Amino acid sequence: MPFAGKKLYDALVVGGGIAGIESALNLANNNLKVLLVEKDLTLGGKMIMLSKVFPTLDCSACITTPKISEVARHPNITILTNTNILQIEKQDKNYFKARIKEKARYVNISDCTGCQLCEEACPVVVPDQYQYDLVGRKAAYIPFNIASPRVASIDMDNCVLCGACEKACPTGCIDFTQEDKEYEIIAKTVIMATGFNLFDPLKIPRFSYGNSKNVITALQMERLLAPTRPYNHVLRPGDGQVPCNIAYVLCAGSRDLSVGNPICSQICCMYSIKQAQLLMGALPMADVTIYYINIRSFGKGFEEFYEQAKGMGVNFVKGKVGKITETDNGNLILWYEDINQGKVIEKKHDLVVLSVGVLANDEPKKLIQGWEKDEYSFAHQKDLFYTPSLSSIEGVFLAGTTSGPMDIPDSILSAGSAAMEAIRYVKQTSIDL
Amino acid sequence: MAKVDLTFGKKLKKYGAIDFNACYNCGTCTAVCALSTEMDSFPREMIRLSVTGQSEDIKASLKPWLCYYCGECTTYCPQEAKPGELMMSLRRYLISRYDWTGLSSIFYQNLTAYIIAFLLVIIAVVGIFLSGTFSKESFMHLGHYFEMIAIGGVFLIILLPNLIRMWRFTLLSKNINANIKHYWIALKDLFTHMFTQKRTLACNDEKDNKVWWFEHFILVIGYLSLLFTTVFLNWFGTKSLVVISMGYLFSAIIFVVTFDFILRRVKKDSTKTTFSHFTDWFFVIWLFLMGLSAFTVRLFLDFNLLERYFWAYLIHITVLAQWALIIVPFGKWMHFLYRSFAMYFDKIAKLAKTGQH
């Protein structure tokens, strides 16, 4: 539903990733009017960027996109993308006032057909954040093919204002005079589905990320493996060669006090095992080695999935990689202690994937007064066992990784639970606005 | 089957070990260590042995001496288990294990005993002086004799037997098939490491590692030279201008460098100076006092002030006696010998293993 400046909603859902989408659908199907606010240009969050999901190896985008179209078409859901929450205030016992800012897109959403002629015309090329910088994009661009809304946007930070896109656009929807718009809305309840941040491997210079092009993050590998992948093949970014000896460095930024994140990210072991299996399919001649401290395959079907990877020939080595150095031809030398032998080993690989961990998204703290966080900056859960979706503020509920690292099924469960609690809350405190 | 001994960890804490039980065996420390090799991988193995209390294996290991403490392992340890400090405390532990008298073990674990020993030496020196048996001049002669006797005595009674014990524990007990030729070839390593500490330079990171190495290097040279100048060239008795100025130079080197070392420990400017055992403080401070008091005594002599300010010599000889009777035989000083002999023994073991002639 178009926004059209409407003021009153039953629920405000902050975040349009899989948890926000799931919450919004649950609420809307129970006849609550929902405003879904996403800061990015498109819905889908991190899940829509993934190749496959563990342990079933289902296509990730094939699960996300139907849910997104359902949200997009739902009469009870209003979507605002490219929009930031500035402040949420609890007005009295029963409702919240939110100030939101819809950033200028410089494209009229309702008129854009997504024809991509502006993209062709635009002379500016910058790294594509939706492909995790593996390739470039234009300054006038559609985020990716299955984006929602699938409309263009002008990246004003990089635009040279040449006007080429405006001339190319057949519907005349490009509007350089657009400005950011601020609104104030009222909602009875708020669901925080603000997700997580990925650990930035630049914080560990020993891993050579940023210096060596052939050291990539697991999210970059997701893109290399996804059906909508940038090179249409798994190639290493340094020189475009087909890698044949790939290493995974687990616990890159997790379980590591020296970078301030002592907790387990819960997903890295499994997504690395998943990627290893996919690589076995994509590059049948390649060796894949996973360097680990402990493999944590605790979920349903996870241990079997791990055994399956071993059966497929993935090489598991117990020992955390200590440092990585680059050789002249872009290959990498990994230094680790093989714990089972008690020996330091130097091993050469031609592509290294850092299995980066999950960090809390600290933003809710800035958005709303009374927000309490736990010692790792995730949301404080008021009663972890009794009602895990409850935040420290009455009427604000927690969906997905807002409250801690979790995988996709757990995020969806958590989103359902948050929606249920929110419905109960609205019913109990219902007043006429 | 080895038995787990949890009391060992508690004991090791008295030698300065901290938090090593936090280790979850990821091997980061061993992987980042610049000195760790496929043949000699440490420090994780040493942490494992310490956690499970395998004191006999530790006693037979040379690895604690192969570490020159750059502190990278402690910086990068994901569990903050401080492996570098564990290696340091293992060296203290080994010093007390090698010592046949058992005094090192008492001194390392008990500050009170350590202080009492220092006090006893003060009482003895001041007592002898105050007894009136000796004139100031003959007291200084006595001091000179004491230096010579102490060097010989400590060497024969403590250093030599302890080195033999170290040799027995680390080489002999392992049935290493080394012949006399291996011992001869490896001698080169012994002296290189003893006088250059060049292995420190292979340690990377920790910004001023090279500066630190240089300071330590000239300190060792300065210390040995001052020892030679005072004992064999009779610095306090000589008329030779060359010897006198040499003595000034060497003693100045000692107190200037040790002053910087004390400052580093106060400022905790790197991992290796962050955690100081009380014996470390005694070591640097006494070395500083020794250099400074020797310098002062010679200065007073040159300006004919010593007669009037004889306390300067009294302080010097007390510090020296404490140094020679406590710190050298039963404390940190021994790392000078054990480190270089560890490199020597390690080389012998490697030569024997590869069967090189």
Task: For A340-370, write each residue's pLDDT tens digit.
Answer: 999 999 999 999 999 999 999 999 999 999 9
- Count other C-beta atoms under 10 Å from residue A178's C-beta: 16
Distances B342 to B31, B133, B186 between C-alpha atoms, Å? 22, 45, 11
Domain count of the fold of chain A? 3
Q: How confident is the model at residue B309 (pLDDT cuts 50, 70, 90)?
A: confident
Q: Which domain holds residue B12?
A: 7-98
Q: Are residues B82 and B109 in the same domain?
A: no
A289 shares its domain with A170: no
Domain boundary among A339, A358, A377: A358
Q: How confident is the model at residue B356 (pLDDT cuts 50, 70, 90)?
A: low
Tens-digit pLDDT profile for residues B125-182: 999 988 877 788 888 888 889 999 999 999 999 999 999 999 999 998 887 888 899 9
**Which of B98, B121, B141 is the last residue before a domain boundary?**
B98
Say whether B25 and A257 touch across the interface (CB within 8 A).
Answer: no
Identify which has the larger pLDDT, B30 or B197: B30
In a domain, B11, yes or no: yes
Position A2 scores a pLDDT of: 66
Same domain for A163 and A72: no
Chain A residue closest to B46 (CA)? A342
- The whole-angstrom separation of Cα A47 and Cα A53 is 9
Residue of chain A whose alpha carbon sits nearest to that of B40 = A343
Which residues share a beta bridge with A92? none
Q: Which whole number is the average pLDDT over A302-313?
A: 97
Q: Are residues B69 and B195 in the same domain?
A: no
Residue A1 is predicted with a pLDDT of 63
Looking at the structure, do residues B140 and B72 belong to the same domain, yes or no?
no
| Structural contact between residues A195 and A363, judged by C-beta atoms closer than 8 angstroms | no
Asked if pLDDT for residue A431 goes beyond 90, the answer is no
Question: Does one domain contain both B115 and B261?
Answer: yes
Residue that finishes a domain, picked among B60, B81, B98: B98
Residues in contact with A259: Cβ distance below 8 Å, sequence separation at least 6, in sequence order: A199, A203, A204, A253
Is the pLDDT at A181 greater than 80? The verdict is yes
**What pLDDT sits at residue A432?**
53
Number of independent structural domains in chain B: 2
Q: Inspect the interface and report whether the beta carbons of B31 and A319 lie closer than 8 Å.
A: yes
Q: What is the pLDDT of residue B207?
A: 66
Same domain assignment for residues A116 and A229: no
Report d(CA B155, CA A140) in Å as an integer: 82
Q: What percent of chain A has pLDDT over 90?
A: 93
Is A3 a domain residue?
no
Q: Distance of alpha carbon A165 from its chain centroid, rounded?
A: 29
> Both B93 and B238 in a single domain?
no
Question: What b/e string do you get for B8-27 counting C-beta neighbours within 10 Å, with b at 16 or more?
Answer: beebbebbbbbbbeebebbb
From A337, A358, A379, the end of a domain falls on A358
Q: Which residue of A has its CA nearest to B45?
A: A342
- Please give the structure tokens belonging to residue B198: 């060049």
Convert the pLDDT of each residue in A102-147 to its tens digit. Answer: 999 999 999 999 999 999 999 999 999 999 999 999 999 999 999 9
* Residue A267: DSSP 8-state: S
> How does strand A196-198 pair with strand A358-360?
antiparallel
> Residue A229 CB: number of other CB atoms within 10 A?
18
Together in a domain, A111 and A235: no
pLDDT at A182 over 80: yes
User: In this complex, how many residue pairs, one in chain A and one in chain B, have their CB atoms less than 8 Å apart?
Assistant: 68
The H-or-E segment that residue B251 falls in is helix B241-267
Count of other CB atoms within 10 angstroms of residue B102:
11
- % of chain B residues with pLDDT over 90: 74
Is B2 among the domain residues?
no
Q: How far, rounded to the nearest angstrom, does the alpha carbon of residue B50 sit from its chain's CA centroid?
A: 22
3-state secondary structure at position B107: helix
List chain B residues with CB under 8 Å of A338: 27
Predicted pLDDT at B271: 85
Q: Which pTM value belongs to this model?
A: 0.92
Quote the pLDDT of residue B175: 79
A18: pLDDT strictly greater than 80? yes
Name which of A253-267, A405-419, B125-139, B179-193 the model is least confident about: B125-139
Residues of chain A with Cβ-Cβ distance to B31 below 8 Å are 319-323, 335-337, 344
Report how far Cα A421 is from the mean position of its chain's Cα atoms.
25
Mean pLDDT, residues A314-326? 96
CA distances from A196 to A87, A387, B103 (A): 20, 21, 57
Same domain, A337 and A213: yes
ipTM for this model: 0.88
Q: Residue B64 is part of a domain; what is its CATH number? A: 1.10.1060.10
Helices B241-267 and B278-302 sit at what angle, rounded to 10 degrees? 150
